[in-house]
Structure 1
């Protein structure tokens, strides 16, 4: 069974026992969460939108930060430059069940 879920405005295609990195979700490690399902496909049947009776359960595995992204600004001939960086927060989840 395959489902397309929506997490923090992004869509992900998931299957059972799959692990993936999604934008940061509040919760503790090991906590179970339920995710919004947009589309589900099983046994040749396709369910879309409000007609979906499918639920995706997942477990929070870890909270991590991504690679450093550097933002460098400068203005020519003025001697102005500014260097900033940030690391985006991600949550690693494992899909436990698609029912």
Structure 2
């Protein structure tokens, strides 16, 4: 059984027991969250697709940690113009462990 959820402007395919990193959620580490934007649930040959979301479907997850991804280096460069600008960015994330899919 798996589900497709939407959080933080991105879509994720999750199964029970998966550990995923999503955009930062306002929840304490160790707490439980419910993700309500479930787009699809598949259980064997039975597939439910929402328009755009499934009513009454939810995915529960435990917040395991908050952190920051590795640094992404951004380079702007113009050839033959003596222009070279470098900057970096680290995105925050919330790590979730999927505990259940209901719907």
Question: Normalization by structure 2: what TM-score?
Answer: 0.82
Root-mean-square deviation over aligned CA pairs: 1.8
Structure 1 residues without counterparts, runs of 5 or longer:
none
Alpha carbons of 1:19 and 1:32: their partners in 2 closer, same or farther (altered >3 Å)? same
Structure 1 partner of 2:30: 30
Q: How does 1:45-84 map to 2 (within 5 A)?
A: 45-49=46-50, 50-84=53-87
Shift of 1:51: 4.6
Shift of 1:78: 4.8
| Count of aligned pairs | 99
Alpha carbons of 1:6 and 1:78: their partners in 2 closer, same or farther (altered >3 Å)? same
Larger proportion of strand: 1
Shift of 1:2: 0.9
State how far apart, in whole Å, the 1-side matches of 2:98 and 2:54 are.
22
